[in-house]
Structure 1
Amino acid sequence: MSQTIYVATTNPGKLRDFAAAAASRSKLQIVPLPGLGSIPAPSEDEPDFEGNAKRKAVYYSRFAPGEIVIADDSGLEVDALDGAPGVRSARYADDMNFDHPGATDERNNQCLLAQLATASVTSRLARYRCALAAASGGACLLTADGAVQGEILSHPRGSGGFGYDPLFYLPELGQTMAEISLTVKDRLSHRGLAFRRLLSLLAEIGE
Structure 2
Amino acid sequence: MHLYVATSNPGKLRDFNTAVTGDITLSPLPGLASIPAPEEDADTFSGNAILKAVAYSLAAPGLTVLADDSGIELDALHGVPGVRSARYAEDEHFDTGATPDERNLLCLLDRAAHLPAPQRQARYRCVLAAARDGVLLATATGDVEGTLLTAPLGTGGFGYDPIFYIPAHGKTMAQLDQPTRLSLSHRGRALAALLAAL
Asked if these proteins are the same fold (TM beyond 0.5), I'd say yes
Change (3 A) 1:69 1:137: same
Q: CA deviation at 1:99?
A: 1.6
- Residue 171 of structure 1 pairs with residue 167 of structure 2: yes
- Residue 160 of structure 1 pairs with residue 156 of structure 2: yes
Contact 2:18–2:183, Cα closer than 8 Å, also in 1: no
Aligned to 2:96: 100
Q: CA deviation at 1:26?
A: 4.2
Aligned to 1:19: 17
**Matched residue SS, 2:157:** coil
Once the two structures are superposed, residues 91-121 of structure 1 have per-residue CA deviations (whole angstroms, 9 ceiling, x without a partner) of: 0000000021311100000001111111111
**Matched residue SS, 1:199:** helix
**Matched residue SS, 1:5:** strand
- Residue 124 of structure 1 pairs with residue 120 of structure 2: yes
Per the normalisation by structure 1, the TM-score is: 0.92
Select 2:3's aligned residue among 2, 5, 12.
5
Aligned to 1:205: none
Unaligned runs of 5+ in 1: 203-207
Contact 2:97–2:106, Cα closer than 8 Å, also in 1: no
1:1-207 correspondence to structure 2 within 5 Å: 3-22=1-20, 25-202=21-198
Number of aligned residues: 198
Percent of residue pairs identical: 56
The code of the aligned residue for 1:43 comes to E
Per the normalisation by structure 2, the TM-score is: 0.96
Separation in 2, partners of 1:38, 1:116: 38
Contact 2:68–2:129, Cα closer than 8 Å, also in 1: yes
Q: CA deviation at 1:82?
A: 1.5
Separation in 1, partners of 2:47, 2:191: 17
Unaligned runs of 5+ in 2: none
The CA RMSD over aligned residues, in Å, is 1.1
